[in-house]
Amino acid sequence: MYAVSDTQDVDRLVAQHVPLVKRIAYHLIHRLPANVQVDDLVQSGIVGLIEAARNYQSDQGASFETYAGIRVRGAMLDEVRRSDWAPRSVHRKARELSAAVRAVENRVGRAARDAEIAEELGVDLNEYHQWARDASSHQVFSFNDSLGESESESRDATLPGGGHNPYEALADDDFREALASTIAGLPEREALVLSLYYDDELNLREIGEVLGVTESRVSQIHSQALVRLRARMVDWRG
């Protein structure tokens, strides 16, 4: 087993992986509201990187870059949550959006269309898209949000040797299976946008080039997908 304990080794790892922190920050900032600054994300991420360098053990089954990426992203999201930047109106609208999606889909027996959700809410289509954008940018959706855990704690638990007990691990596995199934059941274009954005880490402009649509339209599809995903995962989110 190899553990980083020497101060010089810690400093070396941190210096080598500062670009990783910046890359994660610039990818994450597109999911957050305008008042969140990328410099604040980088600062929080550096703290996570230092903690990762101090705590990394080679027998955890992950490379340092993988382990550090988890800790860095977790530190950023934990800091964003602590700042409590989402106004109550946004949380209320997010709940109303989820309820509207469920109501329409239960009634029509298929994926709800934008116009149908807007009609259910009693707003026009432009206002609906604004609601969806606000909800998706003010609520960072992840496995760990839905399980009620902090990003850094839960992500560490997914590494070999992590976790608190077998029951929590089972709940995490069950949730991941349910989430994967729910994503697979999304309309094809919404599922593709999520995959390109979260798995392939393309930005909205790049996704637009892949799909042959404008960046604005990709933003609408992304927001719609998250609204639908939250609505369909409501039993897990409590």
pLDDT digits (tens, 9 = 90+) for 185-202: 999 999 999 888 877 778
Do 100 and 208 share a structural domain?
yes
CATH number, residue 41: 1.10.1740.10
Q: What is the pLDDT of residue 81?
A: 72
Domain membership of residue 1 (yes or no) is no
Q: Distance between CA 208 and CA 82 in Å, rounded?
A: 33
Cα dihedral sign for 167, 168, 171, 177? negative
Give, in order, the Cα–Cα distances in Å from 83 to each of 43, 49, 51, 87, 136.
14, 20, 21, 11, 17
For every residue of 125-158, DSSP letters joined together read HHHHHHHHHHHHHHS---HHHHHT--HHHHHHHT
Summarised one tens digit per residue, pLDDT across range 8-41 is 788 888 999 999 999 999 888 876 766 778 898 9
Q: What is the pLDDT of residue 146?
A: 40
Query: Hey, is 110 helix, strand or coil?
Result: coil
Under a CB-based contact definition with an 8 Å cutoff, are residues 132 and 227 in contact? yes
Q: How many helices (H) and strands (E) does the chain have?
A: 14, 0
Give, in order, the Cα–Cα distances in Å from 189 to each of 2, 41, 154, 231.
44, 30, 30, 18
Does pTM top 0.75 for this prediction? no
The residue range of the domain holding 65 is: 7-83
Do 209 and 92 share a structural domain?
yes
- Counted domains in the chain: 2
Query: What would the mean pLDDT of 111-128 be, rounded to a whole number?
Result: 93
Query: Which range among 55-59, 64-68, 150-154 has the greatest average pLDDT?
Result: 64-68
